[in-house]
Amino acid sequence: MVLEIINIVAIIVIPILSVLIGQWLQNKSEKRKDKMRVFSHLMSYRAFGYTDQNSVNIFNSVPIVFNEDKDVIEKYNIYLGSMNIEPEDFAQKQKEIENNKTKMLESMAKTLGYKNINWEVIQTPYLPIGLINEITNENTYKQGQLDVVKILSQIKQQKPQEENRTKKSKPNT
């Protein structure tokens, strides 16, 4: 009789336990994938800064994805705080900002179990000269477009003023 009760309990409890354990493992795996996605993106774009829309979205998800990792959140907040400066102060604070970013990435790597991703690895991204030239040329082109628009806007503003002067200088006949 006791053996039958144990078998019945086992038949009921084991499937429930396996579903709960499976769900727990799946949740843990998804959380790790989210952390990996965020870390991978931030590492990939560390040389350029997080200025495009996708990078900003990823960066803003750090407190959600790493919410249980106090050291990462602390380093994230320090990095975020160091970026809240006036544009004219950026050059002076750039080294501090970069160091704070590196500390944040280093903490993320540690949380994810990457022992070989350290300060030196984070500070030396691959950045080919061809890509730097392409970005520089693109920025020069964009600045040129802005300059042309500014000049056209000034010409457009001057034209009505000249027409008004011409009308005033013509004698009434």
pLDDT recorded at residue 172: 57
Two structure tokens written together for 97: 């900002």
Closest CA to 66 of 34, 23, 25, 41: 34
pLDDT recorded at residue 126: 82
Output DSSP code: residue 168.
H
Q: Give the Cα separation of 134 and 66 in Å (integer).
A: 34
Q: Where are the domains of the chain?
A: 2-127, 129-173
Closest CA to 70 of 104, 36, 41: 104
Q: Give the Cα separation of 68 and 75 in Å (integer).
A: 13
Q: Give the Cα separation of 109 and 101 in Å (integer).
A: 12
CA 6 to chain centre: 54
CA distances from 155 to 145, 162, 165, 167 (A): 15, 10, 15, 19
CB-based contact 111:71 (threshold 8 Å): yes
Look up the pTM and report it.
Answer: 0.69
What tens-digit pLDDT sequence spans the chain (173 residues)? 888 888 888 888 889 989 999 999 999 999 999 999 999 999 988 887 777 788 889 999 999 999 999 999 999 999 999 888 787 777 788 888 899 999 999 999 999 999 888 888 888 888 788 877 888 888 899 889 988 888 888 887 876 666 666 666 665 55
